[in-house]
Amino acid sequence: MTLRERLQDALPEGHSFELLHLQNIPTEITPIVTASKKYNDATDTSTIKVENFFVLFNNKKAVFAMEVYVYFTLYRQQNEIKGERLLFVSKADTSGYSDVKFSVKSVTTAILSYLLSVDPKAYLTRVKPMTRKYDDLNNELITIKTATQDALRILAKRLRSNGSSVNEKFDKDRLYSSFDFPKDFSTKICLFTRPAPQYLFSKSSENPHKHVLSGEGLLKWWLSILDDIAVNYFTEDTQAKLRIPGEDTKRVQKYLVGTKFQNWSVGDVFANSSNSLAAYAIPLFPDDPKSRFLHELVEENRIKTTSLKSFWIELQERQEFKLSVMVSVIGIIGHTKPFPQSVIRTAETLVTKSKKQFSYIKSYITGEEFNKVEGAHASYQNVKDYYHARLHADLVPLEGKKKSIMCKTNLQSHQPVITMLQPRKKRKQ
């Protein structure tokens, strides 16, 4: 199934939505987990990161957004190449401005199931390397390592040869790497739950129609999603883990009562032993409290002495957790069941040309203020205008097919009032 088909099955029948899906160029990065010096083969590791940003629009308003990072790690173990895929759910948010009641849980599950279904080869055939070997390229090409004098000489030579053109035909694929991913690979999903007024839609908590979950409510909501994912997409020997920093095992186990997947237990997917050093187990994710704490341990010169057990205890005592709110770490580790794989369709996904373009389009959502409905409309219109003017394309239309969700009857339609005193925000140039 395509991304569009999955989302249409999750959205209410008879109602129209639109989708923005941004994906950056798969990029080789340094390992997200520090390797122990005991493993001499640690240097023979490759990690590729793919950032995904999804936005759902209803009635020309941004109503849902989700940010997910997908990591692929290749490493050598006993002369055999092993592979691991990791989905890190960074943020998910609603604005509260949808005129139609829809299941956010179903939409979130549809997106995660899509990412699980994408063949890793779709990401790994064209990867931006950490360093490019410009010495292997034609000496007549201008690169960032070309001296100014040499660049002028090359341009002059091209001008003499081609008349009015100084452009050189070049196969850009030579600037990218490709990786072979083993067919038998493990998959992890992990996320960190912490209640907040808003995650991606700035000031949206000021909208009275937005439903903000408590720490316990957020934990139960995500737990139910990953429980469904584990049952439907992972093999029976998969392990599912829940950890609540600062809580004893018996209390954590109470949240696992009633889960459908049989292999839920208290713990995390990062290491088998609580005595392991946190530095060699906890991944470094973007904008993540765990990663920030690891950096603090480095500054305090305690990174080589702090165990996972101490890490979780101290994490709960950090300033950003001293508001008596419940936080949790939920994860799955195992193998996915055989099911039809999806491809990345250009009609559904915009693979941006650069990190700058990705951030620019994303800022139309995250840089807007959603305390009033005008912000939700402006974010939609700015994205729409960018697609038309720069890409000569349009957002992905979605027609809901789910019959069990009824349309709201008590929520009035939010239409912006555009006057001389309150004009629509100008589209970014």
Of 155, 216, 181, the C-alpha closest to 48 is 181
For the stretch 72-81, what's the b/e string if a residue is b when 16 or more beta carbons lie within 10 angstroms of its beta carbon?
A: bbbbeeeeee
> Tokens 């941006």 belong to which residue?
352
Helical pair 3-10 and 104-117, crossing angle rounded to 10 deg: 160
Q: Where are the beta strands (DSSP E) in 257-416?
A: 264-266, 328-334, 350-351, 396-399
**396 beta partners:** 19
CA 151/CA 149 separation, integer angstroms:
5
Burial class (CB in 10 A: 0-12, 13-18, 19+), 325: middle
Of 6, 130, 125, 126, the C-alpha closest to 56 is 6
Identify whether 288 is a catalytic site residue: yes
Residues 52 and 69: beta-carbon distance below 8 Å: yes
| Cα torsion angle, 88, 94, 100, 104, sign | positive
CA 375/CA 364 separation, integer angstroms:
10
What is the enclosing helix (H) or strand (E) of 85? strand 80-94
Which residue of the set 171, 288, 385, 394 is catalytic?
Answer: 288
Residue 112 identity (one-letter amino acid):
L
DSSP 388: I
Report, as residue numbers or ranges, the catalytic residues: 288
